[in-house]
Amino acid sequence: MSVSDRFFSLVPDRQCGSCMVCCEYLYINSPSLKKPADVLCGNCVSNQGCRIYDTRPSVCRSWHCLWRRDATIPAELRPDKSGVLFSLSVCDEPRYLFENAYIVCMALKTPAAFDAPLVAATLARYIGEAMLPVWLSHAGGKTLAWPDDKLANAILSPVAAQSDQLADEGKIWLERYEAMLEPLQAKNARFHHHHSPN
Ligand code: SF4
Ligand code: SF4
């Protein structure tokens, strides 16, 4: 299945329940709602959920973490229970090549959460699938977990690659990545539209 087919539907029977991790940890900058990262949204009432749920902004209706979108993430990894938030990010104007479209795993409290067996296995699987860049994020910073340094450098600067083989690998990587971006961006826009009744 191509990347652009993979993450754009919701897993049946998976609900947010009492999780409100995205209402706290995400930076939201939409016309109808702005909030900094790591601050619980003012509309969030503890143990009750969103006090404007029925009229919540479209950004809240449309955004879903990967736990809601990718059935291969184990059910146990609901963000409020696992302490990690997996998301797919697709940017229109990224600052850095590997931020065009990527998977990011954010540790909410402690980076030790990355080492929990199910989290580590999920990260290893995304890296092993070699589809999208994988970032680890914690406390406002993020590091690239895949491609690794050697390959990332070869992709960004083929002439400085340590070997011809690595330069070729980087070139193939970049062609494959660039080819998937447009379909991903289109799918991303449609997905958000589809999930935004407002
Ligand atoms: S982080 Fe995921 S599971 Fe939790 S409330 Fe947000 S979308 Fe739902
Ligand atoms: S408006 Fe509601 S759903 Fe949206 S971030 Fe705030 S608490 Fe969450």
pLDDT digits (tens, 9 = 90+) for 156-184: 999 988 899 999 999 999 999 999 999 99
- Give the rounded distance of the alpha carbon of 80 from its chain centre: 16
For ligand 1, atom 3: residue with the closest CA: 16
pLDDT digits (tens, 9 = 90+) for 69-107: 999 999 999 999 999 999 999 988 899 999 999 999 999
Angular region, 49: left φ>0, alpha ψ -120 to 50, beta rest: left
Please check whether residue 2 lies inside any domain of the structure. Answer: no
Q: Which of 56, 65, 195, 198 to mutate to test the pocket of ligand 2 (most atoms within 8 A of CB)?
A: 56
Please check whether residue 1 lies inside any domain of the structure. Answer: no
Supply the range of the domain harboring residue 121. Answer: 9-194
Please check whether residue 3 lies inside any domain of the structure. Answer: no
- Give the rounded distance of the alpha carbon of 39 from its chain centre: 19
Q: Are 104 and 138 a contacting pair, CB within 8 Å?
A: no
Please check whether residue 121 lies inside any domain of the structure. Answer: yes
Instruction: Give me ligand 2 centre to Cα 38, in Å.
Output: 13
Structure tokens, 22? 């995205």
Q: Please state the atom number of ligand 1 nearest to the C-alpha of residue 14.
A: 3
Please check whether residue 76 lies inside any domain of the structure. Answer: yes
Q: Are 10 and 69 a contacting pair, CB within 8 Å?
A: yes
* Total structural domains within the chain: 1
Q: Is the pLDDT of residue 189 over 80?
A: yes
Please check whether residue 109 lies inside any domain of the structure. Answer: yes
Please check whether residue 142 lies inside any domain of the structure. Answer: yes
Please check whether residue 177 lies inside any domain of the structure. Answer: yes
Q: Is the pLDDT of residue 151 over 60?
A: yes
Bridge partners, 151 (sequence order): none
